[in-house]
Amino acid sequence: MWRRDGRARISALLVLLIFLAGVAATAGFYHITGATAGPQQAYQNAVSTAQPASASIPAGLGPETIADIVDKTGPAVVRIDTVTETQGSSPFNDPFFRQFFGDQFNTGPQVQRALGSGFIISSDGYILTNQHVVEGARQVKVTIVGFDKPLNAQVIGADSSLDLAVLKVDAGKPLPYLALGDTNKVRVGDWAIAIGNPDGLDHTVTVGVISAKGRPIDVQNRHYENLLQTDAAINPGNSGGPLLNLKGEVIGINTAVNADAQGIGFAIPSSTVQPVLKDLMTKGKITRPWLGVALQQVTPDVADILGLQGQEGAVVVQVVSGSPAAKAGLQKYDVILQVDGQAVKDASDLVNKIQSMKIGQQVQLQVFRRGQTLNISVVLGEKPAQ
């Protein structure tokens, strides 16, 4: 059974890829306050050549390499404590009992406390973590090395589908921070270092290798794509902490662990974070291009019914009213075969192609409809919040 290594359990379910409106839902609407250099500058710090905590780490592998990396990067790894409120359950909430007892047995909200990890990505206090670490929290506090007490943190932006969140603390002084590395250069077998707060044990360090790349898993209502798999020990409380290479760069965000097996953990690759980090820091959410259709795979039976040769493409089973697809004239049971001249293998492939494009971009779709091949031009919109 999969489990997020922070607060939630994971169920290994195979989900049919039917995507409404092109991509998964967007979360986060938080306003930015108290930033000293502003989110735009902080974003530049996170992805530029500014000197992070890992800048002086030697690239060569030696007896003390791991310890050197931990010494340099450890101060930029933080503990995140959250407080959430949930409505308590009681049999006396049933209308039958309330007829006799009223609200005298009402349990009211229950306070839950949880912890996770994160890491600083700019000297003025922006912090990257998992969205599920801070989901629903009414209070977020961050513990940073060198400070006598935890600092209040504000959730600046969050996205549920990618499980990413950006926090902000006002520390009153420059903070050490980590740089994002290039996951595309990571090879299976490369060393990996995880730092976090498993079970409240602050700044625990574990070491392993990258076991695989591009792993998909399903976690409750989230579908993760392209995860890094590692055998570096990841445990509850590690969620949101960094997975580092031997240069001290962040190559992943520790996210999930297989509770029924040893040495199987997962991290969101930095290549997933980099394209969306600016949106999270400056807009509070991730904006995505939107086609506005629900899709299903082309099975042999579906191909036979529609008179389609082969099983490539994606079948439109719903067109959202008022969407770009509706305005362009796409219809139910159309089969989308190409996007801008590139063949569509299946529904997932179409979603990935749309995600790689920009809002307002005009795309050419090749569509099979009732025995004819049509070319339809669509201007992608911005995916609405759900």
The C-alpha angle 105, 109, 110, rounded to 5 degrees, equals 105
- Angle of helix 270-283 relative to helix 39-47, nearest 10 degrees, comes to 170
Any idea which residue has 């991730």 for tokens? 286
Q: How far apart are CA 356 and CA 291, in angstroms?
A: 12
Taking alpha carbons only, the member of 208, 210, 201, 122 closest to residue 169 is: 122
CA distance 279 to 270: 15
Would you please indicate which residues are annotated as catalytic (active-site) residues?
132, 163, 239
Residues 228 and 210 sit within 8 Å (Cβ to Cβ): yes
Torsions phi, psi of 362, nearest 5?
A: -90, 125
CA gap 275, 41 in Å, rounded? 16
C-alpha span between 110 and 84 (Å, rounded): 8
Residues 6 or more apart whose CB falls under 8 angstroms from that of 250 comprise 119, 178, 179, 180, 181, 242, 243, 244, 270
Q: Which two tokens stand for residue 295?
A: 């899709």
Residue type, 98: R
* Helices (H), ranges, the chain: 39-47, 65-73, 95-101, 131-134, 270-283, 300-306, 324-328, 347-355
**DSSP single-letter state for residue 211:** E
Q: Is 89 helix (H, G, I), strand (E, B) or coil?
A: coil
